[in-house]
């Protein structure tokens, strides 16, 4: 009987509606109410510092190469002690899709994603973040890593005194 199955369908729908009316809501009254995202949430990007307080970013351009929307640009430079760093570093958050590939590519753990997703501006140009807007005063995740302690180019310690290094060889020695 077609009419009976139609009534059954109507009642089922009604039952679901009423069931949900008495459930606890899943939505919240954002922005009055806020929810804390998980620590691994991928939102606003920061540049972190190493445990010694130095800038971690060495401007190696791997993040900008990995970025699928090309929103990272920078200019590497050299400090007096031979340290490679970013003279300027820019992320265009109007373009960023928060995929996290930059953070994955970064060999120094400098660039990291934070859970801060509240980046809205009235002027789109304000979404272009420069190094001073990105650089934070902390290590973020992985607080113990300092790339220059492992790199072997004598920036944070003398050459040959890094963690995985032997003392420099004496070329003029004839000993075996």
Partner 1 sequence: MPKLIIDNIPVEVADGVTVLEAAQSVDIPIPHFCWHPALGKAGACRVCAVKMVDGPVKGIQMSCMLPAQDGMVVSTTDPEAVAMRRNVIEWLMINHPHDCPVCDEGGECQLQDYTIAGGHGIRRYSGTKRTHINQDLGPYIEHEMNRCIQCYRCVRFYQEYAGGTDFGVMGSAGRVYYGRFEDGQLESPFSGNLVDICPTGVFTDKTARFKARYWDYDMAPSVCPGCSLGCNTTPVARYRELLKMTARRNEAVNGWFICDRSRFANDAVNDPQRPRTPLIDGREASRDEALEALLLRIAQIEELYGSGSIAVVGSSRLALEGAALLPRLAECCSAGALCYFTSQEESDRTLPLIELLSSGKPASQRDVRESDCIVVCGCDPLQKAPMLALAVRQAWRNGAAVYVVPFGSAQGTEGVQKSTILQMNRWLSGVEASQEPKRLYDAISVHSLDAVPLADAKQPVLICSATNAPDRLAETLEQQSNLKLAVIFPAANSYVAAQLAGAHGAVSLEHAVATGKIKGIIAVEADIPPQLLEGIPFVAALDWRMTETVQAAQIVLPTTAWVEMDGTCINNEGRAQRFKKVMNPGVPVRGLDPAGHPPHIHRTIPPGGEPQPAWQTVAALIEGLCGEQITEPLSGKWERLQELAAESEGVMINDL
Rule CB under 6 A: which residues touch ligand SF4?
57-63, 74, 105-106, 108, 110-111
Closer residue to partner 1 (CB): 88 or 117: 88
Q: In whole angstroms, what separates CA 142 from the centre of its chain?
A: 12
Give the span between the Cα atoms of 124 and 118, in whole angstroms. Answer: 14
Q: Are 83 and 119 in contact (CB under 8 A)?
A: no
Closer residue to ligand SF4 (CB): 66 or 119: 66
Q: Does 76 bind partner 1 (CB under 8 A)?
A: yes
Closer residue to ligand SF4 (CB): 1 or 144: 144
3-state SS assignment for residue 90: strand
The item of partner 1, ligand SF4, none sharing an interface with residue 111, based on CB under 5 to 8 Å by kind, is ligand SF4
Q: Does 128 bind partner 1 (CB under 8 A)?
A: yes
The item of ligand SF4, partner 1, none sharing an interface with residue 152, based on CB under 5 to 8 Å by kind, is partner 1
Minimal distance in Å, beta carbon 161 to partner 1? 9
Q: Are 74 and 84 in contact (CB under 8 A)?
A: no
Contacts of 63 (CB under 8 A, 6+ apart): 72, 101, 102, 103, 105, 106, 111
């Amino acid at each position: 009987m077609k009419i009976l199955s139609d009534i059954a369908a109507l009642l089922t729908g009604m039952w679901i509606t009423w069931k949900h009316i008495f459930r606890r809501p899943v939505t919240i009254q954002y922005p009055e109410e806020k929810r804390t995202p998980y620590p691994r949430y991928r939102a606003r990007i920061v540049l972190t510092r190493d445990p010694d307080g130095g800038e971690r970013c060495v401007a190696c351009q791997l993040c900008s190469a990995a970025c699928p929307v090309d929103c990272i640009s920078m200019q590497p430079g050299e400090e007096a002690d031979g340290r490679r760093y970013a003279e300027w570093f820019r992320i265009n958050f109007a373009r960023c899709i928060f995929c996290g590939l930059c953070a994955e590519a970064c060999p120094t753990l400098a660039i990291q994603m934070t859970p801060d997703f509240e980046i809205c501006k009235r002027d789109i140009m304000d979404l272009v973040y420069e190094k001073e807007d990105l650089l934070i005063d902390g290590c973020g995740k992985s607080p113990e890593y300092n790339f220059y302690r492992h790199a072997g180019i004598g920036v944070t310690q003398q050459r040959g005194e890094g963690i995985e290094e032997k003392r420099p060889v004496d070329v003029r020695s004839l000993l075996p």
